[in-house]
Structure 1
Amino acid sequence: MRKTITVMIAAGVLSGCGTNINPQKYNDISPSFDPYHFFNGSVKAWGIVQNRSGELVQRFTVDIKGSINNDNTLVLDETFHYEVGEGVTRRVWNISENNQTDMLQGSADDILGIAQGQLYGNAMRWQYSMNLPVDDTSYEVAFDDWIWSFNDNTIVNRSYIKKFGITMAEVTIFMQKLPNVN
């Protein structure tokens, strides 16, 4: 019993050490982030994953082809290339606006349930769960992504990968919209 209480207290203290970003701070910051505009076309991304100790465990690039379907669904076809580590090689997101909640929602084959997104001026919060493969097993984790717009062609995405409310790894991705080539 004493061991159980100690574990519960430790988990509570550690979960309080997580990231607590106030989204309202970004409502009036320009330029506003519009994922439909930014991702409609080709985007190049460069990213890293760091474990809890800050060590680099993955370094990768992503080629993203975005398009908007007739039903106003944003489709992101992502192809990953790893220089360090391994991971998913392809993901296709289908993202749409939920007019009832004024939020974005999305799905992909390796995502559990529905991802939820909310826009705040130049920022967007994107949350979802997935089974994350690590070595010979996988772990159900929650992703808490924050995306900030620098300008119409550049964004940064900071992801916090959490298990039991504790940040286990962090992802930093820089993305640049490529010029349309006719």
Structure 2
Amino acid sequence: MKQRSFFDRSRLFVAVIFTAFLGACSTPQVQDYAKETPVLELRDYFNGTLDAYGIFTDRSGKVVKRFTVVMTCTWNGDAGVLDEAFSYSDGTTQRRIWRLTRHANGRYTGRADDVVGSAEGQQSGNAFNWTYTLALPVDGRVIDVQFDDWMYLLNDKVMLNKAAMRKWGFALGEVTLSFIKR
């Protein structure tokens, strides 16, 4: 009888560990934030001039680069332009111009010169999840890096942004930004 009891406890232990492992592997979905406020409306927040302050960390968490961004944003109906002027801590500068399109049900698509194909995004509650492939210059060559970009509106002036960067499924690092609307 004790042997069967040990077997039952072992199965229960394995089931609990397996369930915990599956839970750890799941990723958040933008719909998880549907009830969060304030509700993010990209056309309202990304309209006018914004300042952003960010860091890039490598996969170990070490800060590799700091940067600031001045964004000039305009919308004409469901078409938006986000003109980003980057200044990096190493003295380099960069410009990226996003052309966004708003679709039904909080869905957005976007293009920029250094984005491979089209970016796909979904808004829900105070959150926006944006995925795309960026042609990133690194040490004199260009590599395609996948971004999983999450934005969270904190109030009418401040939004936080965290983006995971991957290549062939392997983590390269993260970008963390704070946006401040003027």
- TM-score, normalising length: structure 1: 0.81
Partner Cα separation in structure 1 for residue 102 and residue 78 of structure 2: 8
Partner Cα separation in structure 2 for residue 159 and residue 65 of structure 1: 21
- The question of 1:58 aligning with 2:65 is answered yes
Structure 2 residue corresponding to 1:26, chosen from 33, 36, 58: 33
Aligned alpha-carbon RMSD (Å): 2.0
More deviation in 154-163 or 19-28?
19-28
- The question of 1:68 aligning with 2:72 is answered no
| Equivalent residues of 1:68, 1:75 under 8 A apart | yes
Q: How does 1:20-169 map to 2 (within 5 A)?
A: 20-69=27-76, 71-84=77-90, 86=92, 89-99=94-104, 102-169=106-173
Note the alpha carbon deviations across 1:45-64, whole angstroms, 9 max, x for none: 00000001111111000000
Shift in Å, 1:18: 7.3
Note the alpha carbon deviations across 1:9-59, whole angstroms, 9 max, x for none: xxxxxxxx8782232321101001111100110000000000011111110
Structure having the higher helix fraction is: 2
Partner Cα separation in structure 2 for residue 34 and residue 124 of structure 1: 9
The aligned amino acid for 2:44 is: H
Shift in Å, 1:132: 1.1
The aligned amino acid for 1:94 is: R
Shift in Å, 1:152: 1.1
The aligned amino acid for 2:84 is: E
Partner Cα separation in structure 1 for residue 142 and residue 118 of structure 2: 19
Partner Cα separation in structure 1 for residue 66 and residue 162 of structure 2: 14
- TM-score, normalising length: structure 2: 0.81
The aligned amino acid for 2:94 is: T
The aligned amino acid for 1:93 is: W
Partner Cα separation in structure 2 for residue 39 and residue 32 of structure 1: 13
Point out where structure 2 has 5 or more consecutive residues left out of the alignment.
Answer: 1-23
Q: Percent identity?
A: 37
Counting matched residue pairs gives 160
Shift in Å, 1:77: 0.6
